[in-house]
Amino acid sequence: MNKAVNSADEDLDDQQCALLSEPCILVDEKDRNLGSASKRECHLMRGDGTSLLHRAFSVFLFNSSGELLVHRRSDAKITFPGHYTNTCCSHPLHTPEETIEEDAFGVRLAAQRRLHYELGISPDQATPEELIYLTRIHYASPSDGVWGEHEMDYIIFLQKDVVIAPNNNEIQDTRYVKREEFQNFLNDLKENNIPITPWFSLIAQNLLPLWWENLNNINKFKDHQNIHHMM
């Protein structure tokens, strides 16, 4: 590792650093499984300003009133610390269970696992069968010049009233936002110099308004054939 990476490692939170060994799923731009690489390898920026493309997911959880659960990432996070984002964002692992391709079952298992880990949502409150896989987006964004994101991001919806107990090492704030107040929420963050993650920004600007307006008929927006390339 170069000096910049060594210096960055010295400042990493112990719990977050331990997660860097997790095996992520490398894919090509058509989302074909190419094997595995560690979370560290996937998120380190290379000399040409790129990083390895790998699978991820973004969960959007709504309560029975149609309010979206968002959270602010803890300051311990390696990429985009202190940023607001959607309910849960992480990666399926390169394991037999979480690489199951059919209807993205492996990704939905991973989403269930991380909802429990990050938000304390018990597995029975967010089963894979309840998690709706909508579509995928492909995006890339540097974080701090050393770490960054380059992900094939599966969009997962769930509408259900759940009990949460956030993991403070992952999350520093949670809140439910009404659809009609969402733009004001984003404006308030901007006015207070509180950033949002790049994937959340892309989805909020381009896809979320239509999906949210049609939350009660969300299945009609399932698109498992096409990938939204937002590079």
By annotation, the residues acting in catalysis are 89, 151
As a 3-state breakdown, the chain gives helix, strand, coil percent values, each rounded to 5, of 35, 30, 35
DSSP 170: T
Parallel/antiparallel/unpaired status of strands 132-142 and 227-229? parallel
Number of CB atoms found within 10 A of residue 7's CB = 11
Give SS3 for 37. Answer: strand
> b/e for 200-224, b at 16 or more Cβ within 10 A?
bbbbbeebbeebbeeeeebeeeeee
